Amino acid sequence: MTDLSIQQADWKKEKHAPVIEAPETVKAGEFFPVHLSIGKEIAHPNTTEHHIAWIELYFHPAGGKFPHQVAHLACSAHGESVAGANQGPAYTAPDFTVNVKVDQAGTFHALALCNIHGLWESSRAVQVEA
C-alpha cells in the first residue's frame, strides 16, 4: 500500500498551497464564483521542469459522508517544445474561476499537484442562507 501524503500549508507562506476565494455566505441554489489559484502571495514557477499540473475542487456538505468533485482543471502547457524546455509557445497559469451553486453549508477542498513537490490541499468553509 502506498502512503498518500497530502501537504497542507497557509497559502500566504507557501507557494504550492491552493488558494480558494469564495464568499463566506451564499444564497441556496444561486450560482457564485469560486476562484482557485496557486502562488497568490509567493509565485510558483510555471516552467517545463517545475509546474502545477492540475487543481481539483471538491465540496463536502456539512454532515455529509463524502465530498463531491466540482471541477478538475488541467494546466497543460508549460513551455514544452521540440526546441527544448521552456522554448514553447504556450504556458498555462494555475488560475481558474468556477461558478458553483450549493443548497447547504459545507467546505470546499482544493487539491493541487506540483510535478516536483506532490499534492497540496487547502479548504474553505461556506455558509448558506435561504
Q: Which residues are catalytic?
A: 14-16, 44, 50, 114, 117
CA dihedral 44, 50, 53, 56 (to 10 degrees): -40
Residue 71: name the closest of 92, 95, 43, 99 by CA.
99
20 and 123 Cβ atoms separated by less than 8 Å:
yes
Compute the distance between CA of residue 47 and CA of residue 87 in angstroms, rounded to an integer.
10
Residue 98: name the closest of 127, 71, 65 by CA.
71
